[in-house]
Amino acid sequence: MRRRCPSTARAWACAAVLALAALAERTLSAQAPGPPIEQVTFEQATERAVANNPTMARAMAGILRAQSILQQARAASLPSVDAALTTTVINPVPSFGGSSINPRTQLQTSLGVAVPLLAPVRWAERNQATDQVVVSERSVDDVRRGIAVAAAQAYLQVIAERRVLELNERARATALAHFEYARQRLEGGLGSRLNLLRAQQELSSDEVRVEDARLAIRRAQEALGVLLAADGPMDAASEPPLEIPPELTVASGSAAQSPTADSWLLQRPDVRLVAARQSAAERVLRDSWRDHLPSLTGLFDPQAINPSGLFQPGRTWSARVIFAVPLFDSGQRRGLASERRSQLDLVRAERASLERQARSEVRAAWEAVRSTERAVASARVAAEQAGEVVRITDIAFRAGATTNIELIDAQRQARDAETDAAIAEDAARRARLELMVAVGQFPQ
């Protein structure tokens, strides 16, 4: 059965009631329970992101590769043993004095033992491969840092969007109360259709903002789920513990004031990574002199032949010592040394730039923490003042001392002030996270 409004002077009031019923129906359908979304704490989010993100698997594969190269380099500087079986069939069979010189079919068994007695180049390669394992481990730490920071940022985004949704829902509730009051005044013959339409327009606008905020939350939850390698969206369970410890405050202040206060630098994974690369490049350059050293290798080759020949004994062995000295290589070793020196210069320049950037990040992050804390305090005061203005304006409107235009403006300003406060709180959380990341305190 279709509901119809009576064709009377209160027809617009009835239409407002129907619009209010339709709005309530849409709100209830939007708030209908859907599939549950798993909630995680801040610590759980960062741990799961590091453990499950595919980028970590690729970084761990880099460690395995470096360890494999180290094993190969170590094996090249250690003794090796080789065995060989050779079957020889000849035709015709040579003879001498009526006796066969060699049998038609012979099985030769040989064993080769090589012992590097002096191998400075291979020893240097083994040490250099060990440095590359350290570099790979530092690279994993840097990847872990990047994943944890991304997960933390996504977690904070979910909290910020949820706060915005709460504010928009509160503003919608206020607009709904105003709309209901305007409708009652119109039905009582005290209001006007203009006031009712203004209140209804504000209510509809707030409904749009609520829907936008819901969509923003879902997108943030989906982004968090992707970073955690989950099969669906993930939700933030609680406020993250991002309190700055006193020792971090002291470290940040000293780092911001003194460029030579570098005790905190090596706590950053990216600085540790470039430091490991510099150490590895320095070792490679220092080992360049080993390319001019001789090498000494001992060889032992026992052999067994069955059946033996006329002039060929069944069991023999030989021992050799190979002494090799590089005399002339047309400048190859000099070119390698120059390349290694240039590589070291590049790494040193990269480290200097990174450390300069790190100090700048600490100074900027520390200033951001202090600035956002002041902004949060001011934004909260402004939100409280705007709420008080709304209450006073509402009382004046109900007493007939003002129009609903002033009330709607006050409600909008209060909503904007509360939104600014939520944005300032999110900026303060991100500033504290930025400071902890800048000084290497996150992730732990």
Task: Summarize pLDDT for 122-162 with one digit per residue, the tens.
Answer: 999 999 999 999 999 999 999 999 999 999 999 999 999 99
**Tokens encoding 398:** 């109900």
- With bands split at pLDDT 50, 70 and 90, how would you rate the model's confidence at 196? confident
Task: Summarize pLDDT for 330-343 with one digit per residue, the tens.
Answer: 999 999 999 999 99
Domain, as residue range, for 81: 36-438
pLDDT, the chain, mean: 86
Helix (H, G, I), strand (E, B) or coil at 302: strand
User: Among 165-174, 206-215, 239-248, 326-335, which stretch is predicted with the lowest mean pLDDT?
Assistant: 239-248
Which amino acid, one-letter code, is at 65?
R
In a domain, 23, yes or no: no
The pLDDT value recorded for residue 193 is 85
CA dist., res. 332 & res. 338, Å (int): 10
In a domain, 302, yes or no: yes
In a domain, 225, yes or no: yes
What CATH number is given to the structural domain containing 329?
Answer: 1.20.1600.10
What is the DSSP secondary-structure string of 337-400? Answer: HHHHHHHHHHHHHHHHHHHHHHHHHHHHHHHHHHHHHHHHHHHHHHHHHHHHHHHHHHHHHHTT
- With bands split at pLDDT 50, 70 and 90, how would you rate the model's confidence at 43? very high
Share of the chain above pLDDT 90, in %: 60
In a domain, 11, yes or no: no
In a domain, 17, yes or no: no
Task: Summarize pLDDT for 396-432 with one digit per residue, the tens.
Answer: 888 888 888 888 888 889 989 999 999 999 999 999 9
Q: Kindly list the distances between the CA atom of residue 30 and the CA atoms of 123, 143, 381, in Å, as whole numbers in the listed order.
A: 70, 40, 33
Task: Summarize pLDDT for 250-289 with one digit per residue, the tens.
Answer: 555 554 444 445 678 888 999 999 999 999 999 999 999 9
In a domain, 196, yes or no: yes
In a domain, 387, yes or no: yes
CA dist., res. 103 & res. 120, Å (int): 46
- The structural domain count of the chain equals 1
Task: Summarize pLDDT for 22-35 with one digit per residue, the tens.
Answer: 555 555 455 555 67
Whether the predicted pLDDT of 20 surpasses 70: no
More reliable by pLDDT, 195 or 161: 161
In a domain, 26, yes or no: no
